[in-house]
Chain A
Amino acid sequence: MKKEKPFYVGWQEEMPKEHKSTVKKFIILIFIALPILAFSIIYAQRGFNNHQFELGKSTELTGIYHSSPVPVLEVLKTEMKPDLSNYVMLVGYGKLGAEGIMEDIEALKGDLDGKRVTLKGTMIYGDGKAVLELTKKTNSLITIHKDVIYPIVANKILSSNFDNVVGEIVDPKCYFGVMKPGEGKIHKSCATRCISGGIPPVFKTRNFQNENEYFILLGEKGEKINRQILDKIAEKVSISGRTEFLNGWNYLYINPETIKLIEE
């Protein structure tokens, strides 16, 4: 009698050995291919910067609160790591700016501008810049120190002009540590959300030494332009305007309508 063709029935306990060997080969092939695939995918990645977000770790910083142009806490240089700026930008929890929180605190405790305060939050830092997330919202204020009022505009320097400089608008919270990558297409929606939520937009560009330079973007009269630039975020753009250095950060005053998208 002719040998019967092996037939597979799924609800039986065992499969014919012919089927078993084919399926085994298929599985072995996949198990060989997967590590190779994983290696090629991971090897070819652009890589990640060493910026940090100390998620779950709370830090208390004491310094002078500057409410404008954007909320910044000026901390003693000796309190910060040597490679970090002592002008710590303040941002809110999630994808929101710090302004709402600070306004709520001031509504309860009075004007804080120029006063020495201790704030609690989560540190974000990278590439020399430091940001503090006011994780506990209005409970972020620990102490208002009762001492002299310090001058706010101590370290303003001369302004210079900026003509068609190419770079990318990022949100500093994600870029300086919360997300990796915190720039580019994948992160575009998040950056849009953050800037829409009040986190100051930062223009990232490269100087002649091929180092990154960061500029907080404001309107020509120093007003917020977060809403006007939402469709220019995480794209290659060229920007013109007037720069100023104030409270440890570069500012760039621009007319948002003059931002040009650069086609690649």
Chain B
Amino acid sequence: MSLNYTAVGWNKQKKQYVKILWLGILAFLIVFAALQFLLHPNISVETLIIRWSAITAFILLHIILVIGPLCRLNDRYLPLLYNRRHLGVSMFLIAAIHGVFGTIQFHALGDVNPIVSIFTSNQNYLEISNFPFQILGFCALIIFFLMAISSHDFWLKNLSPKFWKAMHMLVYVAYGLIILHVATGALQYETHLIYWIILIAGFLLVASLHIVSGIKERGNLRKTYQLQEEGFYEVCSLSDLEENCGKSVFINAENIAIFKYNGKVSAVNNICKHQMGPIGEGKIIDDCITCPWHGYQYMPENGQSPPPFKEELSTYNVRLLKDKIWVNPSPLPEGTLVKAAKIDI
């Protein structure tokens, strides 16, 4: 949604976000190193770097994964979502430090290529506690790499949103790989119970937030609407909608957002063209529907982004009968002008 691309579309919020993020990463490095040298003065610098980068990337990955469900449960967390890609790229960079250092330390300068060594130095593929855990981390790092290099909106558009989203959903595969990487690697040497508690607690936190937000979302989708006439369904009363706000409805597998504004009611597809954000949870700003996730905008009557932007949503026919809103869930071609239903006062 930009006129032409820049490397990073900086604004005040984004600067603050990145500043806090890297201050946090740096502060954690200082605290971590100080505690290590205090409690374990014999630690080597290489081990310190490997462990710091591992734990930092692991924590960042958890933060990244809880932001999505938190936002679905409470939209006050949305500012964390908007610049999440910076979290992701930072996490990848730190995970890459871990990967590169680990590979040099444990696999380089030997009698075979270090990458070959990762795959061949331990071949107990059928055992759990002896499993070659480095391979799991290696695969996860490849996924993080693909996500990091495709984080610019250019890629979202040019790899197609569907492929892009699917590729970025691999983060859950990577998360699983990382959990196993830690369980079959570090935790086979460092055997204190606290490590298992932290690992499992982190997993339970991520999993439970996803389940709770999923249940909430499903509740919204479950509602069924009665067919009335001429393909129109009654969805709600006018009073259910706040001025300039939307509502998401799910009819015949169509995900529809209905908006009330300026004494009118319009309906467009509920899935944002950018990253499939929930349009219906957005708001009308400057006469445009604004997606709550990344602020993409569409005009309510024709679903088109205001020029010069080119995104278009499907539109739907809407009727008003007394104070009831009726919607026809057959989508019209993207960007089709549909006269808004006027509210009689």
**Contact between A186 and B43 (Cβ–Cβ < 8 Å)?**
no
Given the complex of chains A and B, what is the CA–CA distance between A49 and B27 in angstroms? 27
The answer, yes or no, to whether B224 is at the interface (CB within 8 Å) is no
The answer, yes or no, to whether B190 is at the interface (CB within 8 Å) is yes
Contacts of A49 in B (CB 8 A): 42
- CB of B194 to closest CB in A, whole Å: 5
**Contact between B12 and A48 (Cβ–Cβ < 8 Å)?**
no
**Contact between A184 and B105 (Cβ–Cβ < 8 Å)?**
no
**Contact between A8 and B79 (Cβ–Cβ < 8 Å)?**
yes
- CB of B288 to closest CB in A, whole Å: 11
Q: Which of chain B's residues 46-62 have a Cβ closer than 8 Å to chain A?
A: 46-47, 55, 59
Q: Which of chain A's residues 27-77 have a Cβ closer than 8 Å to chain B?
A: 27, 30-31, 34-35, 37-50, 53
Contacts of A193 in B (CB 8 A): 106-107, 110-112, 117, 121
**Contact between B121 and A22 (Cβ–Cβ < 8 Å)?**
no
Given the complex of chains A and B, what is the CA–CA distance between A61 and B258 in angstroms? 83
Contacts of B24 in A (CB 8 A): 27, 30-31, 34
The answer, yes or no, to whether A2 is at the interface (CB within 8 Å) is yes
Which of A92-100, A142-150, A249-257 makes up part of the contact surface? A92-100
Which of A9-17, A78-86, A117-125 makes up part of the contact surface? A9-17
The answer, yes or no, to whether B307 is at the interface (CB within 8 Å) is no
* Shortest Cβ distance from A178 into B: residue: B44
The answer, yes or no, to whether B134 is at the interface (CB within 8 Å) is yes
How many residues of chain B get a CB closer than 8 Å to chain A's CBs?
73
The answer, yes or no, to whether B6 is at the interface (CB within 8 Å) is no
Given the complex of chains A and B, what is the CA–CA distance between A192 and B114 in angstroms? 12
Kindly count the residue-residue contacts between A and B in the assembled complex, taking CB atoms under 8 Å apart.
Answer: 185
**Contact between B12 and A14 (Cβ–Cβ < 8 Å)?**
yes
Partner of A179, one of B46, B244, B294: B46
* Shortest Cβ distance from B283 into A: residue: A7
Q: Which of chain B's residues 103-151 have a Cβ closer than 8 Å to chain A?
A: 105-112, 117-118, 121-124, 129-130, 132-134
Given the complex of chains A and B, what is the CA–CA distance between A3 and B93 in angstroms? 43
The answer, yes or no, to whether B253 is at the interface (CB within 8 Å) is no
Given the complex of chains A and B, what is the CA–CA distance between A21 and B32 in angstroms? 28
**Contact between B11 and A13 (Cβ–Cβ < 8 Å)?**
yes
The answer, yes or no, to whether B219 is at the interface (CB within 8 Å) is no
**Contact between A38 and B110 (Cβ–Cβ < 8 Å)?**
no
Given the complex of chains A and B, what is the CA–CA distance between A192 and B124 in angstroms? 13
| A180 in contact with B106 given A10-B82, A13-B13, A44-B190 (CB within 8 Å) | no
The answer, yes or no, to whether A189 is at the interface (CB within 8 Å) is yes
The answer, yes or no, to whether A114 is at the interface (CB within 8 Å) is no
Interface of B toward A, CB cutoff 8 Å: 9, 11-14, 20, 24, 27-28, 31-32, 35-36, 39-40, 42-44, 46-47, 55, 59, 63, 74-80, 82-83, 105-112, 117-118, 121-124, 129-130, 132-134, 185-186, 188-192, 194-195, 198, 242-245, 282-283, 285, 290, 292-295
21 pairs of residues in contact across A and B, judged by CB atoms under 8 Å: A5-B242, A8-B292, A10-B295, A11-B295, A23-B80, A26-B77, A31-B24, A31-B27, A37-B55, A39-B35, A42-B40, A45-B192, A48-B42, A50-B42, A94-B109, A94-B110, A179-B44, A186-B185, A188-B122, A189-B118, A196-B110
